[in-house]
Chain A
Amino acid sequence: MTPDLHLWLIPVLPLIGAAINGFVGRRLTRQAIVTVAIAFCGASFAMALYVALRFSGLAIPHLETLAPWIRAGSFQADFAFYVDQLSLVMLLVVTGVGLLIHIYSIGYMWEEGGFYRFFCYLNLFMFFMLTLVLASNYLLMFIGWEGVGLASYLLIGFWFTKDSAASAGKKAFIVNRIGDFGFLIALFLMIKHFGTLNFDRVFQFAASMSVENATAGLLTAIGLLLMVGAAGKSAQIPLYVWLPDAMEGPTPVSALIHAATMVTAGVYMIARSHVIFERAPTALMVVAIIGTLTALFAATIGIAQTDIKKVLAYSTISQLGYMFLACGVAAFSAGIFHLMTHAFFKGLLFLAAGSVIHAVGGEQDMRKMGGLWRKIPWTWATMLIATCAIAGIPGLSGFFSKDEILWRAYQASWAYWLVGVVTAFLTSFYMFRLMYMTFAGEYRGVTSDHSIVQEQAPARSRPSAAQAHHGIHESPRVMLIPLAILAFLSIVGGWIGVPGSLGGSNRFDRFLGPVFRATAPAVKPQHAAPGETAPPEQTTEGLESHTGRGTELAFTGISVFAALLGLYLARLLYLRRPALPERIAAALNGLYAAVANKYYVDELYATLFVHPVVEGSKHILWHGMDQGVIDATLDNSADATRHVSDSLRHMQSGNLRSYAGWVAAGAAVVIAYMVWTGTR
C-alpha cells in the first residue's frame, strides 16, 4: 500500500489563491493580496518538497486517483495524478521558480493597477501548470496545457488597454491553437487505436509495438502530431512567432511563463511521450532537426535585436531548440537537465532585465542604456552570473547541461553538434553584447528630465511616475532576493549533472534513468548517422568507453572556446570599438536588415496566412456565408419558429375540455400505432 500524499493539493492550492484574489481581491489591501498569493504558492512548493522527501519511499510511478471523471464505454479518464522522477523534477522547478517569481512580482508590480488581477492570473497559471505536470493521462494534461495557454493569454494582455499588448495576447493564443490542433489529433489517434489516454496504458501499448524503422506508421504519426503541439507551446519553427510578441506582458510573466515554465511544457510532453518517440525514428529526427534549426535561427535574430527583452525572447527560443535537439537524439534526460538549468538562468535573466527596466524608468531599448553597472550593482552582478551560465562558461550550470546536449548530439550526428556549437558561439556573443550595451560604457539615455523619458519610452512596463522621478536606482530588496537565489542556483544547479569526463558521476541522468531507460526499445532508433549510435540501455558513462573520454574532453574544450570567442567578439565590438558594429551593419546591409527584421517571417506569415484568412473570412465567410446564408437561414427559421410557437399557443387555450381532448387524441394515436405494430 503506497502512502497517499494528497497530490491533488499541489495544483489546487494555487487555484484557491486565484479564487480568493479573483473574487474578493478587489476589496483587499495590497498586503492581503500578496499574502494570499504567496501563501498558496508557497504551500504548493512546500508540498512539492514534501513529495521529494517522501520520494524514495514511493513505488514509482506513484499514482493517485482523486476522482473518476469521464467514463464512456471502455474509455476512461480520471482526475488522477502521476509522480515519477520526471514529474518530480518539473514539480520542483515549477513551484520553486514560480514562488521566487511571485515574490519578485511584489516589488515589480506594487505600483500597478489591477494588482489583484495580476496575482490571481499568476496563481491560476500555477494551477494549470501543475495540473499539466502532474496529470496521469493526456486528457488531464491537455486541460493543463490549454489552461496555461489561457493564463498566458491573460497575462500577455495584462495591460489590455494597450493595443500592442492585446494583439500580442491574441497572437499567442491563435498560434498556440494551431499547435493544439495537432496535439488534439494525436490524442484522437491514441483513443482510436489504444482506446485510452492514460500514460501507463498508452505506453504499454506503444512499448509492445515494434520500432517503425523503415516504415512510418501510427507511432510516427502520433509523434509528429505531438511535435506540432509542442512546437506551438514551446515556440519552435514554424510556430515560434508568438513568443517575441509575448514580451508585451509584465516582465515577471516573461520570466515565469515565457522562459522558465510554460514554454518548456512542450519539452516535458515530448520527454513524457518518449516511449512513442523511441519507436518512431522519423518523428524523433524531425524533433532533432526542428530543434537544431530553431536554435540557430533564433540565435542569429538575437544578435541584431535592440530591445533587451526581445534579445532574451529569441534567446529563449534558441535554448528551447537545444532542448528539442536533446530530445530528438533520444537524450531526454539531457533535455530535461537543460530545461532545469535554463529555468534558473533564463528566469534570472528576465528578472534582472526587469530590474534594469525598472531602474531606468521603463526603457527597454539597450541603445539608450549603458554604464548602469555602477548604479545597479546587484542587478549587474546577478545578471552577469546568468549570462556566464547561458554562455557556457565552465563551472556554471548552463555549461554542464549544454555540454551534455552537444556531446549526445555529436553521437547522433556531427551536423547537429556543429550547428549546436555555432549556436553556442552566437549565444555567448549576443548575451555579452547585451551585457556590454546595458551595463558598460556611458549612459546613453536621457538623464536629467525624467518626464521626457516617460514620453519617449514606449512605457512598456509603465513605470510609476514616482519611480521615474527618483532617477536610476537599484530595485527594492524583495526583488533582489529572488535574483540572488536564482543566481546561486544558476551557479550550482549544474553540479548535480557533472559528466564522468569531468570527474563527476552525472547523478541527474541516473536519477531520471528509470523513466527513460525502462521502456526503451531493444534497438536504438536509426538516426542520421547510424554508425555512431549506441544502445540506449547504457548511461553516458557507458558511452564514454565507446568514444573515449579524451574525445569528450576535446569537445568540451571546443564549446568552451566558442563561448569565449563570443565573449571576446562582443567585448571587441561593443566595448573597445563601439563604432564598428554600425560599420559592419552598413557593409552587410541586406543581411543585417533581414536579421534585424527577424527574416521578415512575420511579414511572410501575414501575406501567406493571415491576410488571405482575414480577407477570405471577411468576404466569403462573413458577407457571403454568415450574413448571406447562415444569418438569413437563421433569421428566417427563427421567425418561422416563433411563428409556430405563437400558433402553438392556441393549442394552449386554457380550456379543460380541449386539454382532455388533446390527451384523448394522443392516446388514440398511440393505441392505434401499437395495435398496428402488434398485428404487423
Chain B
Amino acid sequence: MSLAFQASQALPRGTDYLRILPELVLSIFGMIIMVLDPVVDQRRNQKALGTLALIGSLAAIASTLWQARAPGLAFWNMVQVDTFSVFFHFLITTITAVVILTSYEYMEVQQIRVGEYYALILFGAVGMCLMSSAVELVLIFIALEISSISTYILAGFRRRAAISSEASIKYFLLGSFATAFFLYGVALMFGATGSTSIPTIEQHLRSGSIPVLAYVAIALMFVGLGFKVAAAPFHVWTPDVYEGAPAPIVGFMSTAPKAAVFAVLLRIMFQIHAPGRLGLIWVAAALSMTLGNIGALVQQNVKRLLAYSSIAHAGYLLVAFAALPQNGIPSAMFYTASYAAMNIGAFAVVSHFGGAGERYVTLEDYSGLGRRSPVLAAALTLFLLSLIGIPITAGFFAKFYVFSAALQANLVGLVIIGVINSAVAAYYYLRVIVVVYMHDPRDESVLPAVPLELGAALAITALTTIYLGLLPGRVLDYASRSAGDLLH
C-alpha cells in the first residue's frame, strides 16, 4: 500500500469515481434497499425490493457500458478500467440481474422474508466487480472479502432448513481459512518484491532472478483462490454448501464470484507471469476435472450433481490457464461467460422445480418432467447438453477453445485427460435427461406455471447459450482484445 501513495495527489480525482461507477451504483442501490426494508409494507415489499435491485443491476450494466468508453487507471493506480475489466463487469452485473429474476418466485414459494437478500446480492456483486478491475493485491483481497461475506450469508438464507445454516457456517469457516492463505500469499509477495501492485510485481519478477519466496506466495494465493473457484484439492466444501444453499444463490455463487476470481487468477497467472504456473495448474486442472466428474457419477441429488459438475468445469477452465497467454486468456474468458449462461439456467430450473422447502431435488423427482412441463424440460435439456459440450450450444465452443488453446501449448496429456473427462461427464448429464424424458412421472400433479420473471431469466440464459454456440465469434473477438490489453 505504501507504494501506492507515492502517486502525486492526495485526494482522488473526479474521473476516479467514474472508474468505479458500477460499484458505486450497486452500493447505492444496496443501501437504499437496506434503508427501505424496514419501512415498506411487509407483504408487498417482497417484489418491490426485488424490482429495485433489478433496476440497480440494470443501472450497473448501463454504467459499465458507459464506463467502457473511458478506460484508464484510478485511485493511485489501484483500479484499472480496460476491456478486460469491462468484460467481467458486464458478465457479473448481467449474472446479478438474471439471478434476481430467478429469485422472485423462489423467495415467495419458500416464504422467506426477503429482508436484506437483494441488498446482499448487490453488495456481493460490488466485491466481484471490484475484483476484476483491481490491479493491487490488497484491494483485491478487500474485494474478495466483500464478495465472500455476502455469499456466506446468502448461503444460509433458507432459515428454516438446518442444512442451509450448516452450509453457511461451513462455507464461512472454510472460506475464512482459505482467505487467510490468500492474505498470507499477498504478504509474502510483498516481501519478495516490495510491492503489492501487479504491474510493479511483474516488472520486479521480470528484471531479476525470482526469489523462492515469490513461488511460495503464488502457491498460497493459488490455495486461496482455488478454494473460491472450487478447484481440487480445495473443492471439498462445494457439494455440502451447494446442497444447502438456496437454489438461485447456488446459481449465483457458482458463476459470478467464480468469474471474478478467475479474472484475478488471470491477472496473477498471466499478467504477473507467475513462476511455476504450469505444473501447479496442470495438476489442479487434471484433479478437478477427474474428481468432479467421478464424484458426480453416483449423485442422486441434482444440486449435489451440479456441484460436482461445477468442480469439473473449474477444472476445464483451469486448462486454459496452462495454455499460452494469447490463447489461454480469451478461451478462459469465453468459458466463464458460457458457463455462467448454462449454469444459471440449470439452477433456475432447479429452483422453480424444487417447490416449497426445495422438496423435489432428487433425480427421481425429475422423472417424467418432459411430460409434466415440456418447456421446462426442454430448457433443462439445453443447459445440460451445453454442460456436456454438444455443438450448437455454448459449452461446445467453450471446451473447444480451451482444449485447442492447450493443444497449441503442446499440453497433449492434459487435453486427453480433459476429453476423457468430457466423455465421463456425458454419462451423468445424460442420466438426468433420460430420467426427464424416458421415465414415467412419479407425481402427476400439475406443476405451477412458470412466472414471467423466471421465464425471462430462462429465455435470456437459453438464448445466450445458443447464441454463444452458434456465433461465438463476436464474444471471442472481444475477449482476444481484452487479452491484448492485459498483456500489452
Contact = CB atoms under 8 A, between A and B. Distances in A.
B220 A667 contact: yes
Given A645-B298, A648-B294, A673-B219, A678 B214 contact: yes
Contacts of A656: 170, 173-174
Interface stretch (A89-97, A292-300, A448-456, A657-665): A657-665
A674 B227 contact: no
Contacts of B291: 648
A674 B219 contact: yes
A659 B236 contact: yes
Given A645-B295, A671-B220, A677 B473 contact: no
B30 to A, nearest CB: 30
Given A68-B473, A644-B294, A652-B240, A679 B212 contact: yes
B223 A663 contact: yes
Chain A binding surface, main DSSP class = helix
B174 A674 contact: no
Contacts of A652: 236, 239-240, 295
A649 B296 CA distance: 10
Interface string B372-412: 00000000000000000000000000000100100010000
Contact of A662 (B215, B236, B279): B236
B348 interface: no
Contact of A670 (B212, B222, B471, B476): B222
Contact of A666 (B234, B472, B474): B234
Chain A, interface residues (CB within 8 Å), range:
35 or more
A666 B219 contact: no
A672 B202 CA distance: 23
A3 interface: no
A70 interface: yes
Nearest to B173: A656
Contacts of A72: 401, 404
A651 B232 CA distance: 12
Nearest to B475: A68
A646 to B, nearest CB: 6
B236 A79 contact: no
Given A69-B473, A641-B297, A659 B223 contact: no
Interface size class of B (residues with CB under 8 A): 35 or more
A679 B283 CA distance: 19
Contact of A67 (B173, B236, B404, B474): B474
B216 interface: yes
A572 interface: no
Given A79-B471, A651-B236, A663-B174, A677 B297 contact: no
A531 interface: no
A85 B404 CA distance: 39
B331 to A, nearest CB: 11
- Majority SS of interface residues in chain B? helix
Given A648-B294, A670-B222, A670-B223, A678 B279 contact: no
Nearest to A652: B239
B141 interface: no
A574 B471 CA distance: 60
Interface string A24-46: 00000000000000000000000
B177 interface: yes
A669 interface: yes
A659 B236 CA distance: 6
A576 interface: no
A78 B473 contact: yes
Interface in B205-234: 210-212, 214-216, 218-220, 222-223, 227, 232-234
A494 B280 CA distance: 72
A110 B477 CA distance: 50
B477 A663 contact: no
B346 interface: no
Contacts of A69: 470-473
Contact of A646 (B178, B279, B296, B298): B298
B360 interface: no
Contacts of B181: 667
Nearest to A644: B294
Contacts of B296: 645
A654 interface: yes
Contact of A675 (B177, B210, B216, B401): B216
B276 interface: yes
A646 B298 CA distance: 7
B190 interface: no
A669 B210 CA distance: 21
| Centre residue among A71, A669, A670 by max chain B CB count within 10 A | A670
Interface string B235-260: 01101100000000000000000000
Which 3 A-B pairs give the minimum distances between C-beta atoms?
A68-B473, A678-B215, A666-B233
Interface of A: 67-73, 78-79, 638, 641-642, 644-646, 648-649, 651-652, 654, 656, 659-660, 662-663, 665-667, 669-671, 673-675, 677-679
11 contacts: A68-B474, A78-B473, A652-B240, A656-B170, A663-B174, A670-B222, A673-B279, A674-B215, A675-B216, A677-B275, A678-B212
